[in-house]
Structure 1
């Protein structure tokens, strides 16, 4: 069977699993590893925020990937590169300057993952008809989040077990060796399974030509009516969530003497990676149906509240300090359900309000970069705020951080921000 005629079931699930696994390795596993290795909360927040900037800037180099012969080549190459970099993370843990080396290797994993994301989505769109894209859309989300399930529900639990039997450094060395082997295996499999997805021949197939197109994409993006208020809205949307997703797992790990819950690595993996991930997926599906039923304009405030009010769970946990793992897991499942339910709001806002226009796909990519910028900014400050306020007051601050976007949502338009044809023609005539 030729690659072009191979059923998408041969490659769509594994392709999006390969997209999710390195992302969650950087976003989630790395934080818990650094916590086990004794790195302070504020440093963990700073370093993981720096690493996350790869997803902010990926739209700037995405057009240059069109110069490659095919999307398949890029996908396979960066799966292999990402896997090798994960192997280097494992090696870096044994160096005298382990922290600097580990952060540097994780940054390379992030760059490879962000680049892979671009080609992965492009290959999916190019290789499938619109009907197939809709048919397999559920598979993409499910297997991307399978990366979260395997990362937190499998590998973190395994790391917790190995920490007790092998020691902390050997445990995390094994985990990143498993990640390395998995990504390399996926790359080798996809060298056979993926359709070729050749890149279109550009009119100006040069770096300079691509750079000129990129310049036009950027200019058109910032000429959209009301774009700056849209950017502010996207950045503020994740203000509370970014801080909770950074500090929440560290709070679960920290000792009770300093205000944490004192859970082991394996217990955090159990409550966050199993029931929490399932609740997130259910919430995401429910949020999509809810918004399609009510419309984005009428649903947006409910989505923001759904995403942020469940953070009361952490306020409760920080005061009650419960010991029952079942109760803790149920509370975190509520928080993760709300996170999944509400996150739909910012995705649809970017798709339906900001992206439409001449460069819809590129402008959606730019909007995701803006979203990641907001996530990184609030992630970066979260550690310092938590240290200054303590866990109890920090979770009050997180709730307050959601107020600006909730208020803003009631005043900004929820219709496509694109220039009229007359405006674009007049601008073109002026330039000419």
Structure 2
């Protein structure tokens, strides 16, 4: 038998977090594109795909189950195998007349599986690596998660677009693209079953330790923080405009000009939004981290909020002027760069308020509320866009950025504390 304990973290940390990112981006981003190409209305797409955020909103409530039962290694392998099956089902059912709700049910199941995988992977990361290695690999895992986003929203979409033109069959093109992602998961399952170390020799002691966690105390301590209402308003509203925009952006790029869109083909959207846009977002996030490290969060948070929100005006411009593809590339890339730059301040503030005895649990609660702040606006975004049209919808998005920026003047944030 292979000695898994000798496996280097370089063998499994990059692929674990690549595996984490792929289903998230397929479920929450790529689904918007293939449903649009398969003729589903904008309102229906935005409504139902926004509900897919729900497992990431509530995953903290079944996190203890992952701790109590079995090992993180087994949870990782089982959820990878289950995700392979879910993606295969989605790919297959696109060939059926009633594909929408069958595929939506499979994506919903996949969302719960993916959220559970995230819990297990983060727990495995803490168990398998020393604190020094955890710090070293934090950037590596983030990089490979972002590469997974490029793979899903870029590579898969471009491949599907190429197949649409080559096969002249949109459902079959997406069946092949999603089937390919299912095969990738099967390969990753086999690979991880061979290389993942058995990191939990202390697993027999975990149920006792987990049962002693004062879950109610953790929740109440979070909501007893200073200025908690301002904090909650900040978490829910900081990305309100972006939450409305994110579900509609790719629909706008795909829609025909007579319907108010830019009329790009699938491959162009994969390149504009899923590749160049994501790369810009990554660089924006890196720069944001460097700026906060240099100047501190209190000095940076307002300028970074402006950097996140002001580029939404580019979509207003594109909706009114219908620019050429050569101009769409830099405009979308700049908007995504600003989003990555400004989002860094948001995540750093969530770490700022996650302090004390239960900081890990508090951060999980914050990220759950964050996901709720993305889900709720997304639910209504499609109906608003259908009612207003693209130009007025993007104008509304710009106005909805104001409440989040107003919360910055009320949240607790000490000037002498850098993050």
Instruction: State the TM bucket, normalised to the shorter chain.
Output: over 0.9
Partner of 1:420 in structure 2? none
Q: Deviations over 1:133-160 (max 9, x none)?
A: 1211111111101111111221101111
- Relative to structure 1, the CA distance from residue 250 to residue 365 in structure 2 (aligned partners, 3 Å threshold; closer, same or farther) is same
2:180 counterpart of 1:178: yes
- SS of the residue corresponding to residue 123 of structure 1 reads helix
Cα contact 1:63–1:214 (8 A) shared by 2: no
Per-residue CA deviation, residues 209-245 of structure 1 (Å, 9 max, x unaligned), is 37x7333322222222322321111010110111111
What residue number does 2:385 align with? 386
Classify 1:168/1:204 alpha carbon distance in 2 versus 1 (closer, same or farther; 3 Å).
closer
* Equivalent position of 1:349 in the other structure: 349
The answer for the alignment partner of 2:371 in structure 1 is: 372
For structure 2, list consecutive stretches of 5 or more residues without a partner in the other structure. none
2:83 alignment counterpart: 82
Between the two proteins, the alignment pairs up a number of residues equal to 412
Match in the other structure for 2:120: 119
SS in 2 for 1:11: helix
What is the match of residue 338 of structure 1? 338
For the pair 1:165 / 2:166, whether they are aligned, the reply is yes
**What is the alpha-carbon root mean square deviation over aligned residues?**
1.7
Query: Can you give the 5+ residue segments of structure 1 that lack an aligned partner in the other structure?
Result: 417-432
CA contact (8 A) 1:68 1:74 kept: no
CA offset digits 1:304-344 (Å, max 9, x no partner):
11111111111111111012x22211111101101111111
CA contact (8 A) 2:233 2:407 kept: no
2:157 counterpart of 1:151: no
The worse-fitting range, judged by mean Cα deviation, of 86-95 and 105-114 is 86-95
2:296 is matched with 295
Matches within 5 A, 1:55-134: 55-134=56-135
The answer for the alignment partner of 1:264 in structure 2 is 265
Q: CA deviation at 1:121?
A: 1.1
Contact kept, 8 Å, 1:54 with 1:110, in 2: the verdict is yes
Give the aligned partner of residue 246 of structure 2: 245
The answer for the alignment partner of 1:193 in structure 2 is 195
| Mean CA deviation greater in 196-205 or 128-137 | 196-205
Distance 1:206 1:284, change over 3 A: closer
Contact in 2 for aligned 1:145/1:281 (Cα 8 Å) = yes
Judged with a 3 Å threshold, the aligned counterparts in structure 2 of structure 1 residues 302 and 205 are, in CA distance, closer, same or farther, namely same
Provide the secondary structure at the position in 1 that maps to 2:5. Answer: coil
Q: Is the 8 A contact 2:154 2:274 kept in 1?
A: yes
**Does 2:223 correspond to 1:215?**
no
Give the Cα–Cα distance (whole angstroms) in 1 for the partners of residues 204 and 243 of structure 2: 40
State how far apart, in whole Å, the 2-side matches of 1:204 and 1:72 are: 16
Structure 2 CA distance, aligned partners of 1:288 and 1:400? 27
* Alpha-carbon separation, structure 2, partners of 1:131 and 1:397: 46
Question: Quick check: 1:352–1:415 contact (8 Å CA) kept in 2?
Answer: no
Q: Structure 2 length normalisation: TM-score?
A: 0.95
d(CA) in 1 for partners of 2:197 and 2:9? 9
> Do 2:67 and 2:206's aligned partners in 1 also have CA atoms closer than 8 Å?
no
CA drift of 1:197 comes to 2.5
TM-score, L = length of structure 1: 0.92
Partner residue, 1:421: none
What SS does the corresponding residue of 2:409 show, helix, strand or coil? coil
Tell me by how many angstroms 1:296 deviates. 1.2
The answer on whether the counterparts of 2:308 and 2:340 sit within 8 Å (CA) in structure 1 is yes
C-alpha distance in 2 between matches for 1:3 and 1:223: 44
2:371 aligns to what SS in structure 1?
Answer: helix
